[in-house]
């Protein structure tokens, strides 16, 4: 049995940068994961993500994945006071979230494991937890993507 908890989070405004990726399927999941890594790496190498994190209000790096009709929007950002004309804002709504945690390894690997656990193990046993057409939040808690402490947050389905 995979462990998860239900936690309440307040609304969080994140500033960052979006990338449009293919919709994830069982066949292309590795490709989508690699594209997420590339997006984050390019933001880190350009210094854009560092600038956001330097003025972060909570020291958490966020990625927000939202399914659109024909693609996945992968938005990497921070809850920050830093400004950048090229950056956009997204709002992570307040509410109850299913939370899975992991630590000790590369963040992308940990997030992929948690996503697999939720959609492959927890959801089939507890379909009431998830509503279609929602979003997933990846939170890097310790700022170290190579030896990460992470949370996967998925909005709890409304009853």
Q: What are the φ/ψ torsions at residue 75 (nearest 5 degrees)?
A: -115, 115
Range of the domain at 27: 5-155
Reduced to 3 states, what is the DSSP secondary structure of residue 39?
A: helix
Q: Give 146's contacts (C-beta < 8 A, 6+ positions apart).
A: 106, 107
* The two structure tokens encoding residue 35: 């594209």
pTM of the model: 0.93
pLDDT, one tens digit per residue, over 75-122 is: 999 999 998 889 999 999 999 999 999 999 999 999 999 999 999 999
User: What tens digit of pLDDT does each residue of 22-35 get?
Assistant: 988 878 989 999 99
The span from the CA of 20 to the CA of 78, in Å, is 18
DSSP string for 81-95: S---TT-EEEEE--E
Token pair recorded at residue 78? 């921070």
Residues 58-67: tens digit of each pLDDT? 999 999 999 8
Q: State whether the Cα torsion 124-139-49-147 is positive or negative.
A: negative
- Look at the chain and report how many structural domains it folds into: 1
CATH number at residue 91: 3.20.80.10
Q: Is the pLDDT of residue 2 over 80?
A: no
């Amino acid at each position: 049995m995979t462990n998860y908890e239900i936690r309440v989070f307040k609304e969080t405004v994140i500033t960052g940068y979006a990338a449009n990726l293919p919709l994830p399927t069982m066949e292309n999941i590795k490709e989508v994961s690699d594209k997420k890594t590339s997006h984050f790496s390019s933001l880190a190498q350009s210094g854009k993500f560092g600038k956001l994190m330097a003025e972060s209000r909570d020291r958490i790096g966020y990625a927000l994945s939202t399914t659109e009709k024909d693609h996945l929007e992968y938005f990497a950002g921070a809850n920050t006071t830093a400004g950048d004309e090229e950056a956009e804002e997204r709002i992570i709504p307040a509410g109850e979230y299913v939370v899975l945690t992991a630590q000790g390894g590369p963040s992308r690997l940990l997030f992929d494991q948690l996503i697999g656990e939720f959609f492959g193990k927890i959801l089939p046993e507890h379909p009431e937890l998830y509503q279609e057409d929602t979003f997933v939040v990846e939170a890097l808690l310790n700022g170290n993507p190579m030896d990460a402490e992470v949370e996967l947050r998925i909005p709890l389905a409304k009853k």
